[in-house]
Chains A and B, each alone.
Chain A
Amino acid sequence: MKLPIYKSVLWGLPAVVILSLILYGCPSQQNLASNEEAAQKVYVAPGEYDEFYGFMSGGYSGQMSVYGIPSGRHIYTIPVFSQLATNGYGYNEETKAMLETSYGFVPWGDAHHPELSQTNGVPDGRYIFINENNTPRVAKIDLKSFQTTEILEIPNSGGNHASPFVTQNTEYISAATRFSVPMGEDGDKDVAIDSYEENFKGTLSFIKMQDDGSMKLDFQILVPGFDYDLSHAGKGPSHGWSFFTSYNSEEANTLLEVNASKNDKDFIAAVNWKKAAEYAAQGKGKIMPGEYVRNYIDKEDHIAKTERNSEVRVLDPRELEGMIYYLPTPKSPHGVDVSPDGELIIAGGKLSTVIPVHSFEKMTQAIENEEYEGEIDGIPVLKYDSILAGEVENPGLGPLHTEFDGQGNAYTTAFISSEVVKWSLDTFEVLDRIETYYSPGHLMIPGGDSQKPWGKYLVALNKITKDRYLPTGPELFHSAQLIDISGDKMKLLLDFPTEGEPHYAQGIAADIVMKDQVKFYKLEENNNPYAVKSEEETKVVRDGNEVHVYMTTIRTHFAPDNIEGIKVGDKVYFHLTNLEQDWDVPHGFTVKGANTSELLLMPGETRTMVWEPKRVGVTPFYCTDFCSALHQEMQGYIRVSPADSDVEIAYGTG
């Protein structure tokens, strides 16, 4: 009989729901396209392809994730700076060397910014680059095979953050240090941390893309000891220049949160890389010590090799004029982005209340007229008012990064106010804004940092996920959000989770990348010295306590699949060649107790696993990738005898 008491409350329930409907419209649908419209726009029917590839940085996973846009489907993960047990990258003998550094083998990296190679200022689908911040490196991924084929370490860098941004024909790839550090011989580097102002320096590195497709560290420019944050190269009229944001012009070495946020303005470094490249070609500057490696997949035998270097050419603006100018920019700027026409240089002043927009034309004029307000370590500082094209008012709190739609609009993320703000490159007026969930860092429009963006979709890469998906305990995947930018108003279409932390992303029309895909490796072109191209050539060879097993796979057996004569204490190299010659027929291989990952063999490929048997007995091995109806039959045995046994090597199949 308590019900009457609640009766009025119960009557109130529908009333509240109806009232909120009237007041707020459909719940959770502010900024949303209608569900039906959104669903249609992101629906890619079974068997059909997405319109764009989206390449998302894997952040602290060290890898790069590949998504279909607009569906948001995660279609692949490219291993880059971290070992990937799934396919043996960085574990097997053929790829281990990719993760070699001047500090030795490093199994993990902090990946940051993917950047597609460009021709004539447009993504060309040949390569995608990505930087590693912690152990400074730049990787090149071949988009024919989606394999990491080269990794170049950057010396004299405290952390490779402002990287790897390409010039409009991929002549150069930039790499600037986030942390300034003391440089030179050991004696110069062992200094007190509070001698920062005196001893710490930064470097802006320029990697040359050579004719054979390999990367070469061409030169570094010595710069004051600020933190260098992000970069983009000029294009069109500004081709030949690169722009780098810097903060901590206070040169603080502790509690940067406070101490590096004091100055009203920091700087964008405008680098005339063509001029610098000329100086380097003339042998100017000096050769400084700097240990670094270059790892690459040898085109002949598909085995990763490491090349070691110990010095680098360094150009000093105090001695070489006209290479670099500082553009004063409020206030600890983060991103720097160049409009598709190459004229406007836009900074995300993360603590600023406006978005400052510099004019390239005004900048060159100011350089010509020497409109300087000072000089720092040989670098002229241009007058803010002489270079400014305008300021975007009310851009949201914490503006970070800007991309473009190719139709006269710019889109900037505002981290603190959790929104993307659309504004006009013509009037600098804010045209539209849309909330994101939550706190976007980078954003990506396919081709959105090039001369010809595909201005249809925008992906906001959010740093905070909270309640967007089913909860998975304390740790959550980051959330990305797909926004329709084809109309005047931005419309939220889709949420999808991303791996690691996607700092930046790149997108490209799918057909550009699809047309040159490698589907399998031709056996005839397999030059791995341990390859065997038919079962007839398979063998097991003992050499002291090293045993080399030359094995083949094909649906659905190994040859050989019975091996005897292995002893405890041996070091066994399994060299497996997948004899398949068809798309999507990998085989896997593992052996019980192996202290490494499996091997995953693409058709026509050879991969090697090292196994050191520890126990006497018969050890099974098997195919790990369900390859055919008789996959469960794809297995074998290895007899392991005591170290002092005299069992002879014997092997066979069938």
Chain B
Amino acid sequence: MENTIKNIVGLLLVTMLILAGCGGGAEQGNTQSAQKASTSGGTEGLTAFEQKHGIGPVTEVITVDQIDMKKVKKGKELFKIKCSACHKIGERYIGPKLGDVFDDRTPTYVMNMILNPDGMVKEHPEAKKMLQEFLSPMPNQNLEREEARAIVEYLSSVQNDTAK
């Protein structure tokens, strides 16, 4: 009796296998896009330039010599609209105070932070450290390169004011 049942079950299984064959086995091992994981906190993989001047579209050293008041004016307006919701010149707010930003950062670094904040907080050890401290990641405000340059001019002008 048990054998009979086994036989019936066996034949059913075989039939199911045939049926499954109809369905067509799902393709195994579809290509998966390899995601580059960047988890390390160190500076490995960064060039000396990137360590000092940040990662982003600005790949040459920007210097601020003679303050250009036209640029300062433009930078100040932009700063008010795009940055001041989180940054103040004289005090810490959502983000760090910026009146003395060039004590620790180069103008190029600041421009890359403005233009590539997502990349910076993922890959640059200094930016990562800042995120850990301030918790709110800096949003990308989609500024043009020369707009970021104008903001650097403005921040340089207030830094000079503070110094005086």
Contacts and interface: CB of A to CB of B under 8 A. Distances in A.
Of the listed residues B12, B81, B94, the one surrounded by the most CB atoms of chain A closer than 10 A to its CB is B81
A26 B16 CA distance: 12
B163 interface: no
B85 A552 contact: yes
A629 B15 CA distance: 53
Interface residues of A, number: 44
Given A45-B30, A629-B135, A536 B80 contact: yes
Contacts of B80: 533-534, 536
Interface stretch (B49-57, B61-69, B122-130, B136-144): B136-144
Nearest to A4: B1
Contacts of B33: 45-47
B48 interface: no
A554 B139 contact: yes
Interface string B3-37: 01100100110110011001111110011010000
Interface stretch (A140-148, A279-287, A401-409, A578-586): A578-586
Contacts of B31: 45
Contact of A535 (B8, B12, B84, B137): B84
Of the listed residues A47, A533, A554, the one surrounded by the most CB atoms of chain B closer than 10 A to its CB is A554
A254 to B, nearest CB: 53
B46 interface: no
A654 B4 CA distance: 81
Nearest to B4: A7
Contact of B26 (A39, A46, A555, A579): A39
Given A17-B19, A555-B139, A629-B137, A524 B1 contact: no
Contact of A35 (B4, B12, B24, B93): B24
Given A29-B22, A523-B81, A534-B80, A582 B12 contact: no
A630 interface: yes
A40 B24 CA distance: 12
A11 interface: yes
A18 B81 contact: no
Contacts of B94: 556-557
A632 to B, nearest CB: 12
Nearest to A526: B81
Contacts of B137: 555, 628-629
A29 B22 CA distance: 9
A117 B26 CA distance: 41
Interface band, chain B: 35 or more
Contacts of A3: 1, 5
Given A17-B15, A21-B19, A581-B142, A524 B81 contact: yes
Nearest to B27: A36
Contact of B141 (A14, A18, A581, A654): A581
Chain B interface, >50% SS class? loop
Contact of B93 (A17, A21, A654): A654
Given A7-B4, A554-B86, A520 B19 contact: no
B4 A582 contact: no
Contacts of A36: 24-27
A594 interface: no
B94 to A, nearest CB: 7
B135 A535 contact: no
A13 B30 contact: no
B142 A520 contact: yes
A29 B23 CA distance: 9
B23 A14 contact: no
A628 B18 contact: no
A9 B31 CA distance: 47
Interface in B118-162: 135-137, 139-143
A630 B23 CA distance: 47
Contacts of A520: 142
B85 A535 contact: yes
B71 interface: no
B142 A630 contact: no
A523 B82 contact: yes
A557 B134 CA distance: 14
Contacts of A557: 85, 94
A615 B131 CA distance: 41
Contacts of B14: 14
A560 B62 CA distance: 37
A11 B141 CA distance: 72
B142 A34 contact: no
Nearest to B143: A581
A14 B139 contact: no
Contacts of B30: 45
Interface string B66-102: 0000000000000011101110000001100000000
A582 B140 contact: yes
Nearest to B86: A554
23 contacts: A4-B1, A10-B5, A14-B8, A21-B22, A35-B24, A36-B25, A39-B26, A45-B30, A45-B33, A46-B33, A47-B33, A523-B82, A533-B81, A534-B84, A554-B85, A555-B139, A559-B85, A579-B82, A581-B140, A582-B141, A629-B135, A630-B135, A654-B93
- 4 cross-chain pairs, A with B, having the tightest CB-CB distances, nearest first: A26-B22, A36-B24, A581-B141, A554-B85
